[in-house]
Structure 1
Amino acid sequence: MVSASAGTAPPATFQTGFPIRPDRLVEARTPDDVREAVAYAAGHGLRVIAHATGHGLPGAVEGGVLVVTRGLDSVTVDPVARTATIGAGATWGAVTAAAAPHGLAPLNGSSPSVGAVSYTLGGGLGILARQFGYAADQVRALEVVTADGALRRVTPEREPELFWGLRGGGHRLGVVTSLEIGLVAVERLYGGAIAFDGERAAEVTARYVEWTRTVPETLTSSLSALPYPDLPQVPEEVRGRYVVSVRVAFTGDAAEGERLVAPLRAIGPALEDSLREMPYAESPTIHNDPPFPHAYYGEGLMLRELDAGRAARVLELTGPGAPMMNVVQLNHLGGALAGRPEPTSAVPYRDAGFLLRLLSPLDGTDVPSVRALYGEVSGVLGPRVLGRSLNFCFGGGDRTAGFHEPETAKRLAGLVSQYDPAGLFGGPYEG
């Protein structure tokens, strides 16, 4: 364990918009290092914050003990059992690379540099989500350090209530040092993106929403709208333009994929069309998430439904005429993500039809202005908003309401009372 006092340079983090100034920083190399750090924090009345890659940093980190888990980056694949054991610091890119030689894939998100464990604790919406569900649904076991300093192995048979809460409940029940997760037999897929001029944003979005009603569960998709900067490293066809793109991941054969995307191509001339058959290892090219650290603020709204008129109004508010740059993404949900007869995990809002993701770079703008704009968007959507997505709310550490339905929040609060009565990891949940 490498431990440092306040004033030591904080760890590198993907989210650069909010300061990290803990009282003590611990760079964990083993699960015992995490256990010692938690015991130290409990003994000194300090809170604990876990940090892997820093993509989902919820806000400024002031005081407490920051446990950096980046050194716990092991990935072990069991091709016979179709499982992977993943350390808390491992990225989705590392997990995908380890599974690919065996013809297997994890339920990873779109960015290969995101921490796999942290993402899964928030639910984990993957690029194959409509077919296979949330990443949290594939968890078989977890190793977690709870507030009493104990390192526990949590399974459905051992501590089933804690097993329920850790999957979708986030980080308020302990520091997860590793998890065992199921893999799926996907070696290749048909996918990519088709991009259109943003001047047709309302039309493209209306056609997309209609198209989602016709596709099978084996196809997962999203729509994005963003202004591309006028920079040499940006592809010429989209450089300096407002662009609306539809991203697709389909596990069927290429011929069927071509048939399914034909209505998208029928929308009209495309600026770019990268739809093709590819090895699963190339799946990060579907979204091409930025690989470089930057400052941003974001919100994720789980929607019961969305109609074309409200979608158009959202794009009008957040598009080129907005007071700041915004990246909008609309994820089609349903399929295997949908509700089950009994809640098998704490992942909420399974009856949502779409997830609306808003992200705003903080260069040249301020958080209050971004919040004001997001408030306008929420007002347009009204009662269609079921709640907020734990995985996609960036920078708003003081915004904790709405991550779970009231009954789920109450059940999670009971777990906190049992396993962390002093609120070492952040205190109770809000409905």
Structure 2
Amino acid sequence: MSLSTDLTAAQGAEIPLDQLRAQLDGPVHVPADEAYDALVTPWNLAIPMRPAVVVAARTARDVAATVRFAGEHGLTAGVQATGHGAVSSLAGRVLVTTAELDEVTVHPSGWARVGAGVKWARVIEAAAPHGLAPLCGSSSDVGVVGYTAGGGVGPLIRTFGLAADRVRAFDVVTGDGELRRATPTEHPDLYFALRGGKGAAGIVTAVEFDLVHLPRFYGGSLYFDGVDAPRVIDVWRSWSAALPEQATTSFALFQLPPIPGVPPQLAGRLTLGLRFAWTGETGRGARLLDEIRGVAPVILDDAAIKPYTAIDSVHADPVDPMPIIDPATLLTDFTAETAAQLLALAGPGSGSPQVLVEVRQLGGAYARVGQHPSAFDHRDARYSVLVVGMAPDPATRPHAERVFAALTPWDTGGVWPNFGPPHDVDTARRAYRPDTLERLAEISRTYDPRGVLQAGACIRAAAA
């Protein structure tokens, strides 16, 4: 049997892929095909994605036909668009790539419709002429749908809240192969699950969401020498606690290599980057940031009045694919003792192997439940911690585990679905409370009775 025409399912039945090809506008590829690797390779090069079949969907109809085919032949299905947040065990036997679903329509009245393959950068550029802005993530290179389906925590989170709370509607293919529209009144159970539940309830083909009026903001990053990190972080703790909701802030301990694109002031040394995004009156925002500028010598100052198209400058996340290990957690508080524990393992003289150790302040609009309930939990978390190291450095993962162990007294036990994609029982139980897990599992059973969607399978297992 040739894998290019047939696939052997788990129960031994031969599945003719020619039948699938005949139903689709997009191509179907297997590992022997030249196009296969480019389609399945995620942004994180440390994640192996090796599904038996990959379908490059060109339409929502392609997605529905593929899911129906998988259900008829006892196969599991997964989805990938931009490849950010990929997990190999969620690929399924048949991986649907939605990168070619590239619709972008911005309505000057304040909302947008976007296909599942679109990254935030295109939406930002399309909205800017109208003075509008989407609630994107810290990098505009991330896909709109995957980010929003995980809740969507961005650089303006304290001011405007979650991206998921701005969603008007989804077009989604559920596990039974049906294309449905989910809104607060049409299939409200799906609407609940798709906002925070990642791909457990279906494969989204398009999303409609509200924009905010924000042609410009004040912000960027201040960078300090690593030796000044303890003093700056100590001031940041009390300073950030007093900030109004027009401000969102975080800091990151960086150890950036001397490579093209890294400013020479930051390369090959430990530095502290303090991020700040302000949506209020510019003068007040600048005065607030001046309180931090005076704490220690600033080696690089990027803060300024900027168009929203420059929102990436706040976090300055890398764009090029790379192999990384990036665990995360959520905290109830960030006290002086918390800071001391973190600095002992990631601060000056610690010998940390990590490229980045980040702490984000939450609260404000993030903490308030949106107009409609969603599957996003963790509104009570007050800080997030992200650790990023390069793979395959053998020291990276054990060191990250020591960092999180040291933070145990403040650990909520949870993690954002986007920072810890639920792919097994343990990760699903960290991403969702028991009641949310059970509701997601029930929705999965309703719309995916055969258990076709790989993401739904882990939710059902965790709920059981």
TM tier relative to shorter chain: over 0.9
The CA deviation string for residues 4-48 of structure 1, in whole angstroms up to 9 with x for no partner, is 123332214311112121111100111001111111111121111
Q: Does 1:286 align with 2:314?
A: yes
**What is the match of residue 29 of structure 2?**
4
**What is the match of residue 4 of structure 2?**
none
Secondary structure of the 1:401 match is helix
Amino acid at match of 1:151: L
Amino acid at match of 2:242: T
Give, in whole Å, the separation in 1 of the partners of 2:400 and 2:423: 12
Please state how far the C-alpha of 1:69 moved relative to its aligned partner. Answer: 0.5
Secondary structure of the 2:322 match is coil
The CA deviation string for residues 100-150 of structure 1, in whole angstroms up to 9 with x for no partner, is 111000000111110011000000111111111100000000000001110
The CA deviation string for residues 339-361 of structure 1, in whole angstroms up to 9 with x for no partner, is 43987111111011111111221
The CA deviation string for residues 59-105 of structure 1, in whole angstroms up to 9 with x for no partner, is 4666511111100111101112x110010000011111111111000
Give, in whole Å, the separation in 1 of the partners of 2:365 and 2:220: 21
Please say if residues 201 and 443 of structure 2, whose CA atoms lie closer than 8 Å, have aligned partners that are also in contact. Answer: yes
- Consecutive unaligned residues of structure 2, counting only runs of 5 or more, are 1-25
Q: Which one of the candidate residues 240, 248, 256 is aligned to 1:228?
A: 256
Q: Does 1:388 align with 2:412?
A: no
Judging changes above 3 Å, is the alpha-carbon distance between structure 1 residues 131 and 276 closer, same or farther for their aligned structure 2 residues?
A: same
The CA deviation string for residues 367-405 of structure 1, in whole angstroms up to 9 with x for no partner, is xx5443333222222242221111113798774330011
Q: May I ask how many residue pairs the two structures share in their alignment?
A: 427
Please say if residues 225 and 243 of structure 1, whose CA atoms lie closer than 8 Å, have aligned partners that are also in contact. Answer: yes
Q: Does 1:54 align with 2:80?
A: no
**What is the match of residue 44 of structure 2?**
15
When structure 1 is superposed on structure 2, of 330-339 and 313-322 the one drifting more is: 313-322
**What is the match of residue 391 of structure 2?**
362
**What is the match of residue 330 of structure 1?**
359
**What is the match of residue 54 of structure 2?**
25
Give, in whole Å, the separation in 1 of the partners of 2:89 and 2:48: 5
Give, in whole Å, the separation in 1 of the partners of 2:260 and 2:62: 45
Please say if residues 24 and 63 of structure 1, whose CA atoms lie closer than 8 Å, have aligned partners that are also in contact. Answer: no
Q: Does 1:314 align with 2:353?
A: no
**What is the match of residue 208 of structure 2?**
180
Please say if residues 343 and 350 of structure 2, whose CA atoms lie closer than 8 Å, have aligned partners that are also in contact. Answer: no
Please say if residues 299 and 388 of structure 1, whose CA atoms lie closer than 8 Å, have aligned partners that are also in contact. Answer: no
Judging changes above 3 Å, is the alpha-carbon distance between structure 1 residues 254 and 185 closer, same or farther for their aligned structure 2 residues?
A: same
Provide the aligned C-alpha RMSD in A. 2.0
Identity of aligned residues (%): 38
Q: Which has the larger radius of gyration?
A: 2
Give, in whole Å, the separation in 2 of the partners of 1:414 and 1:322: 47
**What is the match of residue 282 of structure 2?**
254
Amino acid at match of 2:374: S
Give, in whole Å, the separation in 2 of the partners of 1:232 and 1:274: 18
Please say if residues 354 and 396 of structure 2, whose CA atoms lie closer than 8 Å, have aligned partners that are also in contact. Answer: no
TM-score of the superposed pair, with normalisation by structure 2: 0.88
Judging changes above 3 Å, is the alpha-carbon distance between structure 1 residues 97 and 422 closer, same or farther for their aligned structure 2 residues?
A: same
Please say if residues 59 and 394 of structure 1, whose CA atoms lie closer than 8 Å, have aligned partners that are also in contact. Answer: no
Secondary structure of the 2:71 match is helix
- Consecutive unaligned residues of structure 1, counting only runs of 5 or more, are none
Judging changes above 3 Å, is the alpha-carbon distance between structure 1 residues 152 and 216 closer, same or farther for their aligned structure 2 residues?
A: same
When structure 1 is superposed on structure 2, of 383-392 and 67-76 the one drifting more is: 383-392
Please say if residues 53 and 94 of structure 2, whose CA atoms lie closer than 8 Å, have aligned partners that are also in contact. Answer: yes
Runs of 4+, deviation exceeding 4 Å: 60-63, 394-398
Q: Which one of the candidate residues 416, 425, 430 is aligned to 2:453?
A: 425
Please say if residues 197 and 244 of structure 1, whose CA atoms lie closer than 8 Å, have aligned partners that are also in contact. Answer: yes
Give, in whole Å, the separation in 2 of the partners of 1:63 and 1:174: 13
